[in-house]
Chain A
C-alpha cells in the first residue's frame, strides 16, 4: 500500500516531479512526504525501534523525512551542522529499508566509532569563510564541505574505517548525529533502493542549522510545533512537500 501511495503520488504529480527525475526515471529525494501520505508516516509511528528511541529521548517525534527511490550516494558527513540542538545531540537519524540493500544499490556507509571523536574547532572553521560569526550563512555549501572534509581527515587519522551496512527490507538503522555516514556508490544504475530517512527529536525541540552550529551561540531549547498524530505517536505536520529541495509544494498542489 505504501508503494502504491508513493507511485500514485509520483504519477499524479508528474508535471512537478519530471524535471528532477534522474536518467532512469527515479526520484532521489522527496522531503516530508510523510505529511502528505499518512501511510508513509506510519513507517515512523509503527516502527519497531520506538521503545529504544523513547528510552533515549523520553518521547521520540518525527521532525522531517526524506524518501529516496534510489541510493543517495551522498559523501560521508555528520548531520550535526544541519541538526543542531540545545542540549546538543538531541537528535537521531532513523532509516528504513523498503527493499533489501546490498552491494551495488547504494547501501548506507558508516564510520563505526566516529561519533566519539572530539568535536572540531567549529568557530575557527567558520572564520575561514565568515569574518563575523553572527553572519554565518546557515546553508553555506563551502562551510559544510570544509567541515566534512576535516571530519574525514580526523577519522582517517584515527585509523577508523568506513563500513557498508547491508540490511533486509523492513530493517531500521539508527545513527548518532555525530556519526560520519553517507551513501555507497550505485554500481548498477537500474537498481533501486526505496527507503526513507527520518530525523527524530524529542517533542518541541528547536533544530538549528550551520549559523548556530558553527558560532556556538546560546539558543532556546524549544519552540512551538504543530503535530499530527497516528497511533498516539506525534510527527510534525509540515505545510509543504519538496522534491529534491528545489521547490516547495503545498498539499493542495499535490494530487
Chain B
C-alpha cells in the first residue's frame, strides 16, 4: 500500500512504533503533521539560532 495515496489508512501493524502511528494518523487525516524537536536536535537548532542573532548583532 502506498501510504501517500488518497485512500491510505493506518496499517493494522502490531509492531508499528506508537509515535510513528500517532504521526501517521494525523498525517493521513489532515495532510500534515507537526513533529516536535528532541533534545539533540533542539540543541543544534538552539545553538544555530543563538549564533545567528549574536553574529547579527556584530554586523
Query: How near does chain B come to A201, taking the closest CB pair, in angstroms?
Result: 10
* 27 residue pairs bridging A and B, Cβ less than 8 Å apart: A1-B44, A1-B51, A2-B48, A3-B51, A3-B52, A4-B52, A46-B44, A52-B35, A55-B20, A55-B24, A56-B4, A56-B27, A88-B5, A91-B4, A110-B31, A110-B32, A112-B30, A112-B32, A113-B30, A116-B31, A169-B46, A170-B36, A170-B37, A171-B36, A173-B33, A177-B4, A194-B52
Determine which of B32, B37, B40, B44 lies in contact with A175 in the assembled complex, contact meaning CB atoms within 8 Å. Answer: B32
* Count of B interface residues, CB-CB < 8 Å: 37
Q: Using a Cβ–Cβ cut-off of 8 Å, how many residues does chain A contribute to the interface with B?
A: 49
Question: B interface vs A, CB < 8 Å?
Answer: 2-6, 16-17, 19-20, 23-24, 27, 29-38, 40-42, 44-53, 55-56
The answer to whether residues A98 and B4 also contact, given A4-B51, A113-B30, A176-B31 and a CB cut-off of 8 A, is no
With A2-B51, A4-B55, A169-B46 in contact, do A89 and B2 touch (Cβ < 8 Å)?
yes
With known contacts A51-B20, A89-B4, A170–B29 Cβ distance under 8 A: no
